[in-house]
Amino acid sequence: TNTSTTFTNTNGACVFYALTFVYFSQASSLTTNITCNNKMNVYVNGTSVATANVATTTTLVMNFRTGWNVVRIIRITIFPTNPYSCP
């Protein structure tokens, strides 16, 4: 499934913030890749699981505990004339 999302910003630097809650009936782990062309941070339950300060593809390992988990993705664009994406 392609879940790529692209935004274009022409008015200056901006921050993209995604927050979701996921429930697991037992502890689980998920490994995937995330690609961004600027700065980004990914947190699971308050712990940083991926950080990038330049365009890169990062392997992301997310360890989820039993019960509710919090996932946050923070993207910062500092080149406002270039669209950025995090698939």
Q: What is the pLDDT of residue 84?
A: 47
- 76 within 8 A of 38, measured Cβ to Cβ: yes
Q: What is the pLDDT of residue 24?
A: 96
Q: Which amino acid, one-letter code, is at 33? A: N
pTM given for the model? 0.72
DSSP the chain: -----EE---SS-EEEEEEEEEEESS-EEEEEEEEESSEEEEEETTEEEEEESSSEEEEEEEEE-SEEEEEEEEEEES-TTS-EE--
Q: What is the pLDDT of residue 79?
A: 56
Q: Cα separation of 36 and 52, whole Å?
A: 8
**Per-residue pLDDT tens listing for the chain (87 residues):** 555 555 555 556 677 888 999 999 999 999 988 877 778 889 999 999 988 887 778 888 999 999 999 999 888 776 544 544 444
Q: What is the pLDDT of residue 27?
A: 97
